[in-house]
Amino acid sequence: TPFVLLLPEVTINYRHGLPVITLTLPTRRERCQFAVKPMVATVGAFLKDVRREDKGIVKAEVFTTDGSKVSDATLMEVLLRNDFKLLINSTAYSVSPPVKDKLSSEHATEMEDVKSLIHRLFVALHLEDHQIRKERELLQKLDHLKEQLMPLEQMKAKIMDSADAKTSRLLWVGLALMSTQGGALAWLTWWVYSWDIMEPVTYFITYGSAMAFYAYFVLTKQDYLYPDVKDRQFLHYFYRKSKAKHFNVEQYNKLKEDVAEAEESLRRLRQPLHLRLPIQEITNKD
């Protein structure tokens, strides 16, 4: 740890129940006081206030007495329980918080209840700000996702139109072939040959059709139902066209899922608070 000099220039005093940290700013060499709220303020917020007060401060960190860095998310209440070192630029200050009088167990319990109540009030008062900030983030995320999704939606619509047209043409071709086959059998039965000759032919045509339907079931593990066959053929044309047009189906599905998830989060965020709570939690609160 780059500790260069240890100076007792940082003091901590309690005024009206709040700790006031007094230190010397390196640029102007003048004393400055910082009042902190230990139950809600963090080490990162305190260091940010110090850097904001003196623009000449490039580096501000807090270390324990054994040289371990203190996280910015640590509450000031936890930090002020033990001695620590405050590093400003290249100068380290040894800080010894004053020892607070020990409270009785009953008084301590009451104080913990008050702290908990204050913390919940703080969260409740700042819930609207958090909700507005979260809603803004979700809206920005939705806009970004929809911008990425728009060209894919246009390409998908064109591919779907092409696949649907090919599927429809295939259905009409099937109807035309069946009509041609029926007309040919009727012509051979009544004008060329007799029914005695054509009856075995029609039998083997029917048997061959049954074999074709059974082969379809063996290959696809599905019954030969016309709507299912149409959908299967549509998907076949769609994926073949997508590959030819370099349309990434997986990326499109992932974007659609992200959009749906963001819209669901936004919908839940805009709901009243009592509707967002689970039923068991509402029951416990009552």
> Which structural domains are found in the chain, ordered by start?
11-95 (3.10.20), 129-275 (no CATH)
Mean pLDDT of 14-29: 82
Q: With b meaning 16 or more CB within 10 Å and e meaning fewer, what string describes 200-212?
A: eeeeeeeeeeeee
pTM: 0.45
Q: Over range 223-245, report the average pLDDT.
A: 83
Q: What is the mean pLDDT of residues 55-84?
A: 86
Mean pLDDT of the chain: 79
- Evaluate if residue 284 carries a pLDDT over 70: no
Residue labelled with tokens 């009243």: 272
Query: What phi and psi values does residue 55 have, to the nearest 5 degrees?
Result: -65, -15
For 51, residues 6+ apart whose C-beta sits below 8 A from its C-beta are: 57, 60
Asked if pLDDT for residue 209 goes beyond 70, the answer is yes
* pLDDT for 111: 63
Q: Which residue has the higher pLDDT, 115 or 220?
A: 220
**Long-range contacts (CB closer than 8 Å, 24 or more residues apart) made by 151-154:** 152/247, 152/248, 152/251, 152/252, 152/255
**For residue 154, pLDDT beyond 50:** yes
